[in-house]
């Protein structure tokens, strides 16, 4: 995959995707938004990637929209500008393309692990929350950002994800006040699964990504599917119907039989064929 603002690296069956604008603190330019949209949309057709690690180059994950380069803003944010320009009509289409990033992240069949160091602000925070599992360096800080510059905190799924991750009251507190969330607080309130020292983040992320490879690829994809669907399920009955379907589908795969044989009979690591 050849991108201008992203770097993609396959390590076995783990795809490492790096936001690669470190000099701009990985701010979301139009190019980056379009490339993220393309990458996550392509995963359904690239099942050789069994799980994805998402991270930022340099000291920050992503500081949100790059106002200096966004073509949706009249006048941009040049160094001599006092205030940001107004949003052009074209900006609505750009907003929709940006929102497509988090929609495609949730629709991607593979689990997405987000490794966060430094700042995750605005749209960058939304991308973090759209990931399936979030690990953080002790340098990580999160902020909805937009209300501080006159915009709504409802951006890139933020109003959807944050209440589901931390509860309605906490979400309202952070969305209305735009206060920063440090790494320790993020772990305490369930926003991230684990916080590690900054120099251990890559190793901890790789260990988790490799752990997921010990799960059969199809069952992992079905688990993400049923997990996502049942966040929206209207009742326990709806949830169990979907669970029953995915369990039966998994039971018919050769990989399920391989996992049982390897784990309980031959005491070895399973070798999955995913076919």
Mean pLDDT highest for which of 69-78, 192-201, 236-245? 192-201
- Neighbouring residues of 199: CB distance < 8 A, sequence distance ≥ 6: none
Question: Does residue 22 register a pLDDT over 90?
Answer: yes
pLDDT in tens, 214-266: 999 999 999 999 999 998 877 888 888 888 888 888 888 999 999 989 988 99
pLDDT in tens, 114-124: 999 999 999 99
Reduced to 3 states (helix: H, G, I; strand: E, B; else coil), residue 253 is coil
Residue burial 157-193, b: 16+ Cβ < 10 Å; e: rest: bbebbbeebbeeebbeebbeebeebebebbbeeebbe
Segment 139-147 mean pLDDT: 90
Which residue, chain included where needed, has tokens 């689990």?
111
Confidence (pTM) = 0.89
Enumerate the domain spans of the chain: 6-212, 217-265
Question: Does residue 86 register a pLDDT over 80?
Answer: no
Of 172, 173, 176, 151, nearest in space to 64 by CA: 151
CATH superfamily of 6-212: 2-enoyl-CoA Hydratase; Chain A, domain 1 (3.90.226.10)
Per mean pLDDT, which range of 34-38, 150-154, 238-242, 260-264 is the poorest? 150-154
The dihedrals phi and psi of 55, each to the nearest 5 degrees, come to -150, 175
pLDDT, residue 68, reads 74
Q: Between 77 and 51, name the one with better pLDDT.
A: 51
The dihedrals phi and psi of 137, each to the nearest 5 degrees, come to -75, 160
Beta bridge partners of 19: 6, 56
């Amino acid at each position: 995959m050849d991108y201008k603002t992203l770097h993609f690296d396959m390590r076995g069956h783990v795809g490492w995707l790096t936001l690669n604008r470190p000099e701009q603190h990985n701010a979301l330019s139009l190019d980056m938004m379009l490339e993220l949209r393309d990458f996550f949309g392509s995963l359904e057709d690239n099942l050789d990637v069994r799980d994805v690690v998402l991270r930022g180059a340099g000291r920050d994950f992503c500081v949100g929209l790059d106002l200096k380069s966004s073509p949706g803003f009249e006048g941009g944010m040049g160094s001599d500008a006092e205030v940001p320009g107004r949003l052009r009509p074209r900006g609505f289409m750009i907003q929709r393309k940006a929102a497509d990033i988090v929609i495609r992240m949730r629709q991607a069949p593979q689990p997405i692990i987000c490794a966060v160091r430094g700042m995750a602000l605005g749209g960058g925070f939304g991308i973090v929350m759209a990931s399936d599992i979030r690990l953080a360096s002790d340098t990580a800080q999160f902020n909805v950002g937009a209300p501080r510059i006159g915009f709504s905190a409802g951006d890139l799924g933020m109003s959807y994800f944050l209440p589901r991750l931390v509860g309605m009251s906490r979400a309202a507190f952070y969305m209305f006040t735009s206060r920063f969330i440090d790494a320790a607080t993020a772990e305490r309130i369930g926003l991230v699964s684990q916080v590690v020292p900054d120099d251990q983040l890559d190793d901890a992320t790789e260990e988790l990504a490799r752990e997921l490879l010990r799960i059969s690829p199809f069952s992992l994809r079905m688990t993400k599917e049923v997990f996502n669907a049942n966040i929206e399920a209207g009742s326990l009955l709806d949830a169990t119907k979907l669970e029953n379907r995915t369990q039966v589908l998994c039971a018919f795969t050769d990989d399920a039989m391989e996992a049982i044989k390897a784990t309980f009979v031959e005491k070895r690591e399973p070798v999955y064929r995913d076919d």
